[in-house]
Structure 1
Amino acid sequence: MLAFGMILLMVGSSLQDQCSRMIQLSISTSRNQTGHWHTYVMWDQLPSQSLEFDNKEIAPTSLDLSQRVRGCSAVEIVSMETRLVTPPPRAGLGYFSVTGVGRYKFNSTAVPWETARKTCSDEGGHLAVIRSKQQQDFLKSLFARHPSIEKTTWAGAAWLGFTDQYSEGDFITVLGESYAEIGYSNWESGRPNNHVYEGFKEDSDCGALLRSGLVIDLPCSAKYAFICEQDFDFSMVQKRGKYVANNVQYS
């Protein structure tokens, strides 16, 4: 004889409609054909319904618990397996979360490339690295929301996370990857060209995004707005806290 029971609990709580969140807990118990009882518990915390684009949860929290009881004579053996899946931390203040793309923050304070790199790192992220057309299009649209940048060398560019200042022509990302091997690049025609601009003592060694969505190399000491990126995988951010590229250690 097969017996089956289920308890389903749904709890909804909200301070405001735009901050509502649903928690769902289900417990099911069943007896299989051999007479063994199985209990399954599933916990789902559904994504926030916030209208704030940069405050939405990326994924629900899921808890799976399975219990199995086996009886043999007067001896019972209970085994239990639990799996907990949690979403990554919510995006930092000012970051936009885009499912399948990433988390990004546009900083309109114009600074040199190294200052931009350190600012992003201090926030638990890194200067943005474009890896797909979808990502490029989103960053282009993010840039378009800031038509004017104060005290900048040029309002038409924003720093990205790649440079060849340590080995000419060998561009690497701020994550220590070869820029040529990340799988996507869309340079402006004629770039990179290591151009030396009037008023700068160095050539063009640091990567930036143009308003057109294309990328360009510019003098690292120039002051531009910049785009920070936070990984969905928080553990990856922690592991990338320090890395070495071409004998240069970042932190």
Structure 2
Amino acid sequence: MDRIILLCIVSTCLPAVQSQKFLFSPRWGPIGYKEREKHGDGTAMDEIIKANEIQAAGIVDGTASLREGDIAVSAGRRAKVCFARSCLWSKSVDGHVYIPYRLSPEYSEMETKMIKNGMENIEEGTCVKFVPRTHQRDFIDIQQKAGCWSYLGTRGGRQTVSLQSPDCLQVGVISHEFMHALGFVHEQSRFDRDNYVTIMWPNIWRDRLRNFEKFRTDNLELPYDYSSIMHFGMYAYSQDGEPTILPKNKKNIKLGQPSALSHIDKMKINKLYNCGDNDDH
């Protein structure tokens, strides 16, 4: 039975999972990156997988581990579903959703500019605004941990978003992790995904099959988005260079995005956070 999980999930909404081991191994060769280059199928998630899989074990600090490749999950907490939109960031009276952030001083000026470009990617056309933290209790703490990952939704207090340099400092990767922080899961995790894509289970690394689970999500009455920046690429976690996700009834369609949010991605943000059509974004 599918787990019932909303788009606005925080880390406490997900069950604890065993920490994945991130070790360089000979299988890195057939993961499918040569195939992706040949077919022009490079996505933000491809880069995240590449960065995270070559890191040492224990990629997430403390007692947290990763789910679906880049979603941090705190172990030892009681798993529950967030109802009543309680895991969304607060909306201001002026109609904007302000996300306070603190940026590690370890980033160079150029790296800082890249991270802000990732923020602007989300801000454009939505009511979300990233603002430097002053006194706010809830904020994202952008750090150079091992790999690229984020918690899901607002968890309360300080929450880490890891953007390791240089592998994670790409506009698409940065935007992808901030989308998780806003409360969005991967697109192919939708409960209705089997109507739109076929998961090629035999082609997936056996110890990464859980990264392709689906959940009871709130799809916000929006169509399935093959072009979402939150979609896995066609060769994600391939063990033999063959596709792991194939679109149904769609020829020559590209899965995922390398850098830009899709039109539907922006619609999702505005709908989840109830941004009025007439708001001055």
Per residue, is there more strand in 1 or in 2?
1
Superposition TM-score, scaled by structure 2 size: 0.24
- The structure that has the greater radius of gyration is 1
Superposition TM-score, scaled by structure 1 size: 0.26
Choose between structure 1 and 2 for higher RCO, CA contacts under 8 A separated by at least 6 residues.
2
Per residue, is there more helix in 1 or in 2?
2
